Amino acid sequence: MGYFAGKVAIVTGATTGVGEGIAEELFHRGATVIITGRQFSRAQQTAKRIDPTGQCVIPMETDIRDHLSVKALIDNTMKQCGGLHMLVNNAGITGPHGINICDYSIDDWNDVINTDLSGTFFGLKYGIPAIIQSGGGAVVNLSSSNGIVGIPGIAPYTTAKHGVLGLTRSVALEFADKGVRINAVGPGYVDTPHMKTLSTEIREWMANSHPMKRMATREEVANTVAFLLSDESSFTTGVFYAIDGGYTAQ
C-alpha cells in the first residue's frame, strides 16, 4: 500500500468528513499529506489523529474562498515539502436546504459558489503549475451526484457542483499533454460522523435514495480518489466517477 511513497498531496477541507477519510487513505498509502481547514486548531487535531508523529500529515490553515490564501497554501507546500504531486479539491459546503431560488439570500448564494466552485478554481490555478514543476501528477475534484442531476431547494450547491464538473473537463483538456491528469468524483450520501448526528428517519431516507439501499462509506470514496490519483489510472483524465450506489442511474 506504499505506492505513494515520496509523493506530496494536498487535501482541502480535510478536518472532518470525506476529506478526512481521503487524507487518511493517502497517508496509509505512503504520501505526505497537507490537510487544510479554516480553523487551524481543528486541522492540527485531525493531523495528530491520523499521524501522531507529525511528520507526514501536516496541517495548514486555508480559506479556499480567498485566492491569496490558496496561493499561500501552494507556496508553503512547495517550500516545506519540496514538491506537489497530488491535489484533492474537496472543501465545500451545501448551504441552506429546502429554499427555492427566489428566497435564497445573496450572501448564502455567494458563500456556496465561492467555496465550492471558486475554491476549486483557485486550487487548480495555483496547484497545477506546482504539480508540473514537480514532474507531473494528478488532481481530483469533488463534485457530487448533484453534479449531473438537480435537487430542489439547494440550487446554489447543485449549480456549483455542475460547474466543478465542467471545470474539470475543460482543464483536463488544457493539460492532457502536460503531465497533469484532472478528474472528478461524484459521491452520493456518505456516512460521515456528521451524518450520524441526524435522526434515524433522515438517515434511512438518505440510505434508501440509493438503489443499493445504503450510504457510501468514507473508505469507498477515498479508495476511488486514490485510484484516480495513482498510476493505475494513468490513461484517465477528464472523467466523472459516480460513487452513488446507482443514484444517478435511475
Catalytic residues: 157
Compute the distance between CA of residue 246 and CA of residue 250 in angstroms, rounded to an integer: 7
Compute the distance between CA of residue 82 and CA of residue 161 in angstroms, rounded to an integer: 32
Enumerate residues 6+ apart whose C-beta is below 8 A from 202: none
Q: Which of 65, 155, 163, 70 is nearest to 111 (CA)?
A: 65
Compute the distance between CA of residue 70 and CA of residue 139 in angstroms, rounded to an integer: 15
CA angle 185, 190, 194 (to 5 degrees): 130
